[in-house]
Homo-oligomer: A and B are copies of this chain.
């Protein structure tokens, strides 16, 4: 279906029969009330067909997250830390991690990345003291701001940061758009394919990948919105499936114009309580990142070092 915008690989693969393609492995399992789905694209033909880079895409889904269930939060945080640790290279000998909080901190549903960066244990500047703090790994983190706010292409800025910090791994955190509103605030996506042009709520035109950076680039994202046009198209799609008909793409475009084009700017569908969803998710993601990036520190030691 055209014009359905989603940043979730899981949704992009849906309905394309991805699981039966050669070069694509799909695995699904459950742990602690969280459903994990791993899609590994290992083949260039499959990559082209699905329009998704070769690599690993992991989705963690947990409907209870929106209900703030503390067990669900702990389970999700623990699984995320584990999977992050698995994706990160061994960070020995002073190798530094660089965390990029993408998105615009002034726009609530786009503020996930900056909010995570605000909660990270940042240590790179303590490097001379690291001899006294055995086990502490150097971490740097920045929320560079989006193009419309800085006038500077995020990926160009990221290149300069990489050049300055020379990280052994880059982790990008960003808010995503989903197709299915039930995924907003309940799903985390983790991938080792980095950031592709056009992905995310914002626009990052250059790629930030292992190839462009020379180090692994891990992307963590959570859907925080559905585009309003997508919701309207979903409604159409549902209706036509009910009626056994097929929507005419031109009619869909007309409808979108009629319903939304009078509204200047981009209309999004988001939960009323998005402010607290962002704060909660930022807490979970930051805690998982702190654990994965500081494997020799306990949670209490990490908390004690933050200020």
A interface residues (Cβ-Cβ under 8 A, vs B): 63, 66-71, 106-110, 118, 122-125, 138-145, 147-153, 156-157, 160-161, 163-165, 180-182, 184, 201, 225-226, 228, 231-232, 234-236, 238-239, 242, 251, 254-255, 258-260, 262-276, 299-300, 303-304, 306-307
Interchain residue pairs with CB less than 8 A apart (10):
A68-B304, A125-B147, A160-B161, A182-B262, A231-B269, A232-B234, A235-B255, A266-B271, A266-B272, A273-B307
Q: Is the CB of A151 within 8 A of B139?
A: yes
Chain B residues with Cβ under 8 A from A251's Cβ?
Answer: 239, 242
Number of copies: 4
**A149 CA to B139 CA, complexed, in Å:** 10
- A152: nearest chain-B partner, CB-CB: B140
Question: If A152-B140, A234-B259 touch, does A181 touch B276 (CB 8 Å cutoff)?
Answer: no
Chain B residues with Cβ under 8 A from A180's Cβ?
Answer: 262
**Closest CB-CB distance, A305 to chain B, in whole Å?**
8
**A226 CA to B11 CA, complexed, in Å:** 25
Q: Is the CB of A69 within 8 A of B156?
A: no
- A110: nearest chain-B partner, CB-CB: B272
Chain B residues with Cβ under 8 A from A306's Cβ?
Answer: 68
**Closest CB-CB distance, A160 to chain B, in whole Å?**
4
Q: Which of B164, B238, B239 contacts A156 (CB 8 A)?
A: B164
- A153: nearest chain-B partner, CB-CB: B125
Q: Is the CB of B276 within 8 A of A271?
A: no
Q: Is the CB of B67 within 8 A of A264?
A: yes
Q: Is the CB of B160 within 8 A of A151?
A: no
Chain B residues with Cβ under 8 A from A181's Cβ?
Answer: 228, 259-260, 262-263, 267
Q: Which of B70, B109, B122, B163 contacts A304 (CB 8 A)?
A: B70
- Name 17 extra pairs, CB < 8 A, besides A108-B108, A141-B150, A231-B235: A63-B264, A66-B264, A66-B265, A106-B276, A108-B275, A138-B151, A139-B151, A181-B228, A182-B263, A226-B267, A232-B234, A234-B259, A235-B236, A235-B255, A235-B259, A236-B239, A276-B307
**A142 CA to B144 CA, complexed, in Å:** 8
- A123: nearest chain-B partner, CB-CB: B151
Q: Which of B110, B165, B254, B267 contacts A152 (CB 8 A)?
A: B165
**A164 CA to B152 CA, complexed, in Å:** 9
Chain B residues with Cβ under 8 A from A66's Cβ?
Answer: 263-265
Q: Is the CB of A157 within 8 A of B164?
A: yes
**A109 CA to B138 CA, complexed, in Å:** 28
**A67 CA to B145 CA, complexed, in Å:** 22
**A149 CA to B117 CA, complexed, in Å:** 9
